[in-house]
Amino acid sequence: MSKEYDSKDIVILEGLDAVRMRPGMYIGTTGPKGLHHLLWEIVDNSVDEIANGFGDTIKVTLEEDGSAQVEDNGRGIPVDIHPQKKVSGVEVVFTQLHAGGKFESDNYNFSGGLHGVGASVANALSRWLNVSVFRDGYEYEMQFESKGSGKNIKSGVPVAPLKKVGKTDRRGTLIRFMPDDRVFEDVRFDLETVSKRLREIAFLNKGIRIELIDERRLTNGEPFKQVFKYDGGLLDFVKFLNENKTVEHGNPIYFEAKSDLVQIECAMQYTNNYTENTFSYVNNIPTSEGGTHETGLKNAITHAFTDLGKKAGLIKDKEPALIGEDFREGLTIVLAIKMRNVQFEGQTKTKLGNTEIKPEVESLSYQKLMEFFDKGANKQILELAISKAKQAAKVREAARKAKEITRAKNSIENSNLIGKLSSCTGKKAEQNELFIVEGESAGGSAKQARDRSFQAILALRGKPLNAEKKRLAQILANEEIRTIISALGTGIGEDFNLSNLKYHKVIILSDADQDGAHIRAILITFFFRYMKELILNGHLYIGLPPLYKVAKRDVVEYVYSDAELPEAIEKVGKGYTIQRYKGLGEMNPEQLWDTTMDPSKRSLMRVTLDDAANAELLVTTLMGDNIDARKAYISEHANFNREENFALKQNN
């Protein structure tokens, strides 16, 4: 790989056009996810520089004025004149879409992000962006601004050409930018979101040091600061994911491998859970829908463990064959690969589609697993793996022989839902909605309130089973779970088929109290563990009923959060009454329709899986067996000082 990095290495594919006109094409959304995407693209450029051997530290600062700053100690963006564009490399990078040094392998073996889109898009969607480059003993500066108003805004215009400021001993690039409030719904970066992603990047890039500073949050006069550095890489990542679970062996299984096509790093560890949890990444990008790399690894695990078990005499020839899911029960797996020419597919473009990667990952992983267990010290882990797989197979086989799961599935498909499900008349699944509500009172109101042409109501009569602590056969024995599966029509487990989904919006509608929150958590956990495709494809929602009703005679304002309450009170005026809704059953059908079910007025929160690893951690913490971890999380995030004195209040 060439150590030279000049403007001639920056390949331009097309100019910067229409980014502000259609920001969704480049960052997906102008909501919080899109806002943070700007930051990720700038960070990814620094990560690519360091991951390819140039530098070791990235510093991210959330400034008090709302801007963000990213600094690295890499080589620095080229400052010489680009041979085609006749301007500096810095100006090319920030004003030309698809301009960067990542299209040729001479400068970057592997890269994440949008392959050169990031820097220019961040510039186009910012009020201003300033760049400082420290290179070859000198400091250079350049500023960009988005000028104008309405439809006549010129995005990311250079204020002046790149200028040399003076001499310096520093090296690298520093970028500070202010997201444009004319583009984004909210321009405030969320500390927790930024912190989680930077921690994940540090896990995925062994030894990289990432500093996070939040100037907006002071403690004893000092800004909040976190440092992420994991010399163990994915070893540390798996331990982190399992810290609230009961692990069954100390050191995780770990290997690295490399070929001309791909670099692989993988770590896995057994816990006493009954579900498999696999998290995969390609060039630091999460692949929550899996893909060819995951398939290759899982095939390797099945073949390697089978061959190793037979070789060690742990699996006898006459014993029933063990299958892949037997070996992976209770296994937490993190797989990270790096490759060129990535092809993503799937609904959310988070599934690797490169067919050549499957046999490559399978072959390399098989070889490395055989080497790992060839060491005598790791024999106990192999014995544990085979023992767990045999137990999982016994449960699976016993269920099959007794036809427990078959009977459960048959009863699910044919169960009598009269009295539980009030179906809709609409025949088009993409237009239909299913509201899952708890209790007869809420179910009765919802049935009367709905538009039966496209809205169905499923009233649960008890709390569903916590899927975090049970095997599938036990879960299928729960009447409420069977009712949900029957209503959706998709089947479950190996029989799951998303194309059979009867309702493209599945809406959990529960009371705004502790019990309602618990039911919501149980249902989301079930969907996360056994119907993850519903979440990945954007079909699962949470309905948001109002917390308060502020009224004065015929003037009524419904309030959905504590923050909105003062504004509603001011709007209604003196002489108002406030009612705090404790449950859906307190609302009559007309109120429930107006506030929660009418598509033109209601608020829905889509359940997403942008960060599968953090979702796994949260589900384990809240729904698992570690009581201390759950208490610690609740103590940190719950508001115990909130006053509940609005049951019925008269203001004069």
Contact between 586 and 566 (Cβ < 8 Å): no
Tokens 């301007």 sit at which residue?
87
Question: Is 17 assigned a catalytic role?
Answer: no
Residues 284 and 47: their CA atoms lie apart, in Å, by 9
Residues 637 and 585: their CA atoms lie apart, in Å, by 28
DSSP per position, 195-213? HHHHHHHHHHSTT-EEEEE
Residues 207 and 56: their CA atoms lie apart, in Å, by 8
First to last CA, the chain: 77
Q: Please report the pLDDT score of residue 110 as a whole number.
A: 58
Query: What is the 8-class DSSP label of residue 1?
Result: -
Residue ranges and CATH numbers for the domains of the chain are: 7-228 (3.30.565.10), 234-399 (3.30.230.10), 404-542+603-609 (3.40.50.670), 546-580+613-652 (no CATH)
Alpha helix ranges (H) inside 402-478: 404-414, 440-449, 472-476
Exactly one of 106, 374, 513, 570 is catalytic; name it.
513
Residues 281 and 352: their CA atoms lie apart, in Å, by 9
Contacts of 592 (CB under 8 A, 6+ apart): 445, 446, 449, 545, 584
Q: Please report the pLDDT score of residue 646 as a whole number.
A: 42
* Residue ranges of the chain with per-residue pLDDT less than 70: 1-3, 5, 8-17, 98-117, 346-348, 398-419, 494, 610-652
Q: Please report the pLDDT score of residue 149 as a whole number.
A: 81
Q: Please report the pLDDT score of residue 344 as a whole number.
A: 87
Helix (H, G, I), strand (E, B) or coil at 142: strand
Q: Please report the pLDDT score of residue 49 as a whole number.
A: 87
Question: Is 317 assigned a catalytic role?
Answer: no
Exactly one of 438, 468, 480, 557 is catalytic; name it.
438
Question: Is 513 assigned a catalytic role?
Answer: yes
Contact between 180 and 28 (Cβ < 8 Å): no
Give, in order, the Cα–Cα distances in Å from 244 to each of 373, 520, 628.
Answer: 27, 21, 9
Give, in order, the Cα–Cα distances in Å from 542 to each of 110, 236, 357.
Answer: 39, 34, 37
How much is the pTM? 0.77
* DSSP-assigned beta bridge partners for residue 464: none
Contact between 79 and 58 (Cβ < 8 Å): no
Residues 285 and 339: their CA atoms lie apart, in Å, by 12
Exactly one of 511, 557, 594, 616 is catalytic; name it.
511
Contacts of 652 (CB under 8 A, 6+ apart): 574, 575
Q: Which two tokens stand for residue 531?
A: 């119907």
